[in-house]
Structure 1
Amino acid sequence: MSAGSKTKVLIIDDSAVIRHLLTEILNQADDIEVVGTAQDPIFAKNKVRDLRPDVITLDVEMPRMDGLSFLEELMKTDPIPVVMVSALTQKGCETTLRALELGAIDYITKPSIDVSSGVINLGDEIIKKVRLAAKARVRRKGFECSSVQAAKELSGKKTSHLTTGTLESLSATTDKIIAIGASTGGTQAVTEIITALPESTPGTVIVQHMPPVFTSSFAERLNSISRIDVKEAVSGDRVLRGTALIAPGNHHMTVKRNGAMYYVDIIDGPMVNFVRPSVDVLFRSVAKYAGRNAVGVILTGMGEDGARGMLEMKEAGAFTIAQDEASSVVFGMPKRAIELGAADRVISLDEIAKIILEHA
């Protein structure tokens, strides 16, 4: 997309009402133009080739070919930024999470009641997400990704590729903690990291910007494909070796310490950096209670949530890692952390798990 030109959008949805509403909403933006619509992926294939859209909005459930199959095929052959359109249901969440693993940039949740009014009320969010997708990095994918490999390994004996020396080093520590923060593009990044970690990994706490139903599904999905245990956190959960806790949507998560024991507190409260849960809230608590015994990781995402909290972690003696620009879907949060001098290392996503364990 050249500078100053409009973002060209192709809408794929089997609902004529949704196609009409999305077209009206997106065409209201001066920098966006809907160049075409399609009622299912079969019709869309020729339009993708002929119209060369910058962004695609893609429904999940459609006749003849479902959205996931189309997305997987698209990302293998002709990667284009995709924003999924799904229902805010358990099934919709699971499908959307799979879409994000396959390479979708973001998602829009369709209201379950009064769809027309609900979609119109989401107008600003829809425009924002399409703009963000237009700037995101999308790469051609082979789909034997780390999470799939991990799932295969879990079907047999759980073994780690780490050396004996590394495992012995991990066993010698009792009070380490790993804190991870992510937003747009983060589900894929977090999945790649968590599925690469062994059972002996220090207790891990994660903030991923997501709505409530999504964080529960995300935790269940990660737990099913990881060597470590993963769950959506509740207040009082201990931060234990071999366990990862994910902050529930619409709640902040903090870490506290009682003697040698870390535990989490799930709290309400105002949004921080326009989000809840906030990475900054988590990181600041880790800086306070874990200090030099922590490793902090900030991953792909829009905005600057987590950057100042990571700086506090570094100043408290923690080792800090920022995902590099080349492997980030959106280089917002890591970039701001780097600008503040909060990152000890700036590295590619595929190296982060290894570096975490070296410093845990």
Structure 2
Amino acid sequence: MYTVLVIDDSPSMRRIIKDMINSIDEFEVIGVATDAYDAREKIKEYEPDLVTIDINMPKMDGVTFLRNLMRLHPMPAVVISGESVRGNDIFDDGAVGFIPKPDTGESMNSFSDRIKDTLLNLTFLLKRYTLKKPPALKKSNKVLTNIEYKVHPDEVIPLRAAKFPGMRLIAIGSSTGGVESLLRVFRKLPGDLPPILITQHIPYGFSNSFAHRLNDNSEVEVCEAKDGMILEKGHAYLAPGNMHLTIEKYANEYRTKLLDTKKVSQHKPSVDVLFRSVNNAVGGAAMAVMMTGMGDDGTIAMKELHDNGAYTVAQNEESCVVFGMPMKAIQAGAVKDIVHLDEIAEYIIDFSRGKKR
């Protein structure tokens, strides 16, 4: 059970957001605050797992409060505001999610669905910051068990692994802690690499902002993937926050294909779906990198890539925010090399240059 503090100066909006969040099984609103100063005291008192922040608030605006929060008491924060223009800004300021308040004419059911989708996607980002909170503050004894596959990758994209290698290609999967970790990797990458495909568990509506952030911090041209894009050298394609990213071969080209299908391992996008499609398209010519993240998404398809001769790498425990996804892949025998986060870029460059390890 994840606890939430709702911060909003509007009594009606506090009540609406509280009721909507409490309707989600995995979440519980532990308190509400009317402004930044009230929120500061209640964060100290309750140590919530997540805060929601309005931008327009008295005494101190939400953006200033968010910046102070990330500097003094970093924790997962979602902005829920009518100022959708601030979406990209608040991402840079440290927020992990943005939910626009409902427009005139939008139903409350639609707003509730957007809150639910965003928060459920954030369950794998909530451990981005390590929080130590007193056990007595826990209001529920519910335990989140190990995640099982609700949908097997075979039901989304059948395995037809390429027997003959195609073009060189790099596929990366990440979750909790992946936003900052990917930035550290991409800052070191040159602009002449084979195409890179990325599935990062990230909320819907936020993946495009993250793609721009990666692009601004790398020589690689990074974009949010759209359906039918031709894979190009020196380019990277990030899965949208609500679609599975796959690739298919057309004549001598490889193109992106987005799938609006069921979640795999509670994820959409799913690393398993990406890795499976890469195995189908290019087989042993691929490199797969498993980075920090909670759960086991990607393990099944990474083992398939490994067994098909692809080069597979996992981030080591020391440099992971959460050593979940890499650990599961290692335990499954799906990984050839285990490397520190700061060495992943070097391994990608060596692979692209044809160097064998």
**TM-score normalised by length of structure 1:** 0.71
CA separation of 1:53/1:116 partners in 2, compared to 1, >3 Å: closer, same or farther? farther
Cα contact 2:128–2:177 (8 A) shared by 1: no
Q: Whole-Å Cα distance in 1 between the matches of residues 22 and 308 of structure 2?
A: 48
Query: Does 1:271 pair with 2:262?
Result: yes
Secondary structure of the corresponding residue to residue 206 of structure 2: helix
Gaps of 5+ in 1: 1-5, 140-173
Cα contact 2:175–2:293 (8 A) shared by 1: yes
Give 1:119-130 correspondences, 5 Å limit.
Answer: 119-121=111-113
Q: Whole-Å Cα distance in 1 between the matches of residues 286 and 167 of structure 2?
A: 9
CA separation of 1:335/1:285 partners in 2, compared to 1, >3 Å: closer, same or farther? same
Query: Does 1:246 pair with 2:238?
Result: yes
- Write the letter of the residue equivalent to 1:318: A
- Write the letter of the residue equivalent to 2:92: R
**Range moving further from structure 2, 348-357 or 194-203:** 348-357
Q: Whole-Å Cα distance in 2 between the matches of residues 137 and 248 of structure 1?
A: 24
Secondary structure of the corresponding residue to residue 233 of structure 2: coil
Q: Whole-Å Cα distance in 2 between the matches of residues 283 and 355 of structure 1?
A: 18
Secondary structure of the corresponding residue to residue 41 of structure 2: helix
Q: Deviations over 1:112-160 (max 9, x none)?
A: 4557544555676577578766655438xxxxxxxxxxxxxxxxxxxxx
Q: Deviations over 1:278-329 (max 9, x none)?
A: 3222211222332332211123344432221111111122222223445444
- Write the letter of the residue equivalent to 2:5: L
Cα contact 1:55–1:130 (8 A) shared by 2: no
Report what 2:69 is aligned to: 74
Q: Residue 13 of structure 1: which of 8, 11, 15 is its match? A: 8
Secondary structure of the corresponding residue to residue 192 of structure 2: coil
Cα contact 1:84–1:96 (8 A) shared by 2: no
Secondary structure of the corresponding residue to residue 188 of structure 1: helix
Cα contact 2:31–2:42 (8 A) shared by 1: yes
Q: Whole-Å Cα distance in 1 between the matches of residues 114 and 286 of structure 2?
A: 39
Q: Whole-Å Cα distance in 2 between the matches of residues 40 and 9 of structure 1?
A: 15
Report what 1:97 is aligned to: 91
Report what 1:322 is aligned to: 314
Report what 1:230 is aligned to: 222
Q: Whole-Å Cα distance in 1 between the matches of residues 92 and 63 of structure 2?
A: 8
Greater fraction helix: 1
Cα contact 1:12–1:37 (8 A) shared by 2: yes
- Write the letter of the residue equivalent to 1:216: N
**Aligned residue pair count:** 315
Secondary structure of the corresponding residue to residue 329 of structure 2: helix
Amino-acid identity (%): 35
**TM-score normalised by length of structure 2:** 0.72
Compute the RMSD of aligned alpha carbons.
Answer: 3.6
